[in-house]
Chains A and B, each alone.
With several copies, the nearest count.
Chain A
Amino acid sequence: MDVLYFAWVRERIGVPKERIDHAPATVMDLVNDLRAREDRYAVAFSDLSALRVAVDQELSDFDASLAGAREVAFFPPMTGG
């Protein structure tokens, strides 16, 4: 599964994209796995209310299942327009 980061999430974690070889059951499980890795992840994921998540390029929720998911992206609230 590919995990993508955008905007300040990308900057804090330091990479735009990485591959995860295990299969967390939900977005929240993935977040907790990442948080446990290193401080930069723990910092990036410290306030989930400041984050949004997309699963396979559709906006999703943190309690969403990752069954069959190929791509998860984390980013701040959008500011287009």
Chain B
Amino acid sequence: MDIRVQEAAFDLGAEANAFVARQSRMGAVVTFTGIVRDLDGTSLNAMEIEHYPGMTRKALEKIAQEARDRWSLGDVLIIHRYGTLHPDEVIMMVATAARHRADAFHAAEFLMDFLKSRAPFWKKEVTEAGADWVAAKDADEDALTRW
């Protein structure tokens, strides 16, 4: 598995192509990409992402390993940025490869559900009105119960 926690921007397309090229015998690849968006149209200037350096990588590895234990997967890729990001920048991506599409889809959804609520990242939105920490959603915690 390929897990990267980084401040630098990355090229989603190049990563997706490289991920597909690294697989063999895996006919299905699913990617999820999270993008900074001004969802409410309240002039989002920036999103600041804080993380817990000593723990982040371990937490992501544990989630990725759990996915590999549950589904028949080729490889798993997780890239997550921290620091100050601006609207339309890519925050993070996951990619999963499997022989069959259902495994690739389920593993990607599982990774996202657990990454959302179990990996130590915190987002702060900076708008013209000030800066506010993004509140965790009950729906995100609830999403874990289905696995």
- A-B contact number at CB 8 A: 73
B118 contact set on A, CB distance < 8 A: 59, 78
Distance, CA A80 to CA B140, complexed state (A):
11
- Is A76 within 8 A of B117, CB to CB? no
Distance, CA A81 to CA B133, complexed state (A):
14
Contact A78-B122, Cβ < 8 Å, known A7-B50, A7-B133 = yes
Question: What's the least CB distance linking A7 to chain B, in Å?
Answer: 4
B39 CB-CB contact with A under 8 Å? no
Docked complex: B46-89 residues within 8 A CB-CB of A: 49-52, 54-55, 58-59, 80
Distance, CA A75 to CA B136, complexed state (A):
12
B34 contact set on A, CB distance < 8 A: 81
- Is B52 within 8 A of A75, CB to CB? yes
- Is A81 within 8 A of B122, CB to CB? no
Closest to B101 in A: A81
Contact A79-B55, Cβ < 8 Å, known A7-B50, A8-B133 = no
Distance, CA A2 to CA B62, complexed state (A):
23
- Is B141 within 8 A of A79, CB to CB? no
- Is A6 within 8 A of B116, CB to CB? no
Question: What's the least CB distance linking B125 to chain A, in Å?
Answer: 10
A28 CB-CB contact with B under 8 Å? no
A14 CB-CB contact with B under 8 Å? no
B80 contact set on A, CB distance < 8 A: 80
- The one of A4, A58, A77 in contact with B141, judged by C-beta atoms closer than 8 angstroms, is A77
- Is B92 within 8 A of A81, CB to CB? yes
8 further A-B pairs in the complex, CB-CB below 8 A; given A73-B55, A77-B141, A80-B115 = A7-B50, A58-B55, A58-B58, A76-B122, A76-B133, A77-B136, A79-B122, A81-B91
